[in-house]
Amino acid sequence: MTRCRELYEDLSFNYVKEWEGKSGGKAIGIFPIYVPKEILYAAGMLPVELYGGGDILDVVKGDSYYQSYICHIPRSTLDLGLTGRLDEFEGIICPFTCDVVRNFTGVWKLLFPNKYSRFFDQPQATSLEIAIDYFVAQCKEILSELEPITGQKATVERLNTAIELYNENRRLIRKLYDMRAEQPWQIPTTEVYLLMRAGNVLEVSEYNQWLKDYMAAVGQLERNPEDKVRVVVSGAFCEQPSVSLIRAMELSGCYIVDDDFILGNRYLDEDVKVTDDPLRALAEAYFSSQVPSSCRFEGYDPKTRRLVQQVRERRAEGVIFAAPSFCDPALEDRPYHQKGLDQENIRYISLQYAEDTAQFGAIREQIGTFTDSIKLWEVA
């Protein structure tokens, strides 16, 4: 965990510098929540998910280019770039997450004209054949732009190798989440979260080994269960809470048995097929096995059904809606989720978080009251 925390706190991305020095490859930053890392890896790049500076970095320069009533990620990521912390990156790719992220590439291009900047416009329609063709076309365009930068061509063989590595990665993460749901006292969410954040930076094969090593090591520990309430955390799929906030949740009497933290690493809940047309396989997987999220409109029912399913399958006793301030996708979906939970008699509490750590005390009190009330209702 020490090494995971070091990677989480390292806003100078020293691992990226070391990786480039050893491999001769290039690194590229990607915004949450989903860009197909397989195509970037196949082109010889290290895809690194960028979540800004969190509560570690005070935003100074980034606020000059964005209004204050948006989330923290764009402003603090600009601060990272303007202070030279992202110099090792060849550029940045932003998916269709929200209006702010969608427009980030334009701001980036103006400030860093010599850096690569790309908007990955993944289609919203899911039932049309043309949507698959459009997804494939987007991938081909990105590869045609990146291959001259790296000097490596993303062949069918390299793409399928990447698909196999990321399939393994998603399987390992699913296994880790299943283990935590079964024994949350044995696998604290603070540890799971730090391991996931480390995976945002690590080369995928190295990350896979870290996941295996952690699951093997934690199985040897003896940790005693406590009288805590099993909860699902929803709404933190893009801008991430700090480790301190997650720890505050746990100290408030919660076992987090499922969540949507760092959702991009688990955006596909089934393996991508290994075929002679890997780009089409990625596109088909995007439409057939993508988990519902607030970043894609497909009606409210599938998203709420997914949340209820998480609660039932993980035997959760309640839901904590925890969304970053000014996150339009999460906050717009929240009333519909709450209505669905009311219909299923599932208890919940709603809160918002920001980079300001002073709020954690109040949040801890809110969640503590919520968990205590669940225990009292059970007794009654």
Q: Which of 329, 275, 316, 46 is nearest to 189 (CA)?
A: 316
Element (H, E) at 90: strand 89-95
- Does the pLDDT at position 299 exceed 80? no
Q: List the structure tokens of 184.
A: 């949350």
Q: What is the 3-state secondary structure (H, E, C) of 357-375?
A: HHHHHHHHHHHHHHHHHHH
- Grade residue 34 by pLDDT with cuts at 50, 70 and 90: very high
Q: What is the per-residue pLDDT across 340-365, written as a single tens digit (0 to 9) for each?
A: 999 999 999 999 987 666 677 888 89
The residue-averaged pLDDT of 309-330 equals 94
Render 13-65 in DSSP notation, one character per residue.
-HHHHHHHHHH--EEEEE-SS---HHHHHHTTEEEEE--TTTTTS--SSGGGT
Query: What local confidence, expressed as pLDDT, does residue 67 receive?
Result: 82
Mean pLDDT of 227-234: 96
Name the residue with higher pLDDT: 358 or 218.
218
The stretch 238-252 carries a mean pLDDT of: 92
Structure pTM?
A: 0.94
pLDDT reading at 169 higher than 60: yes
Sorted by where each starts, the structural domains of the chain and their CATH numbers stand as 13-152 (3.40.50.11890)
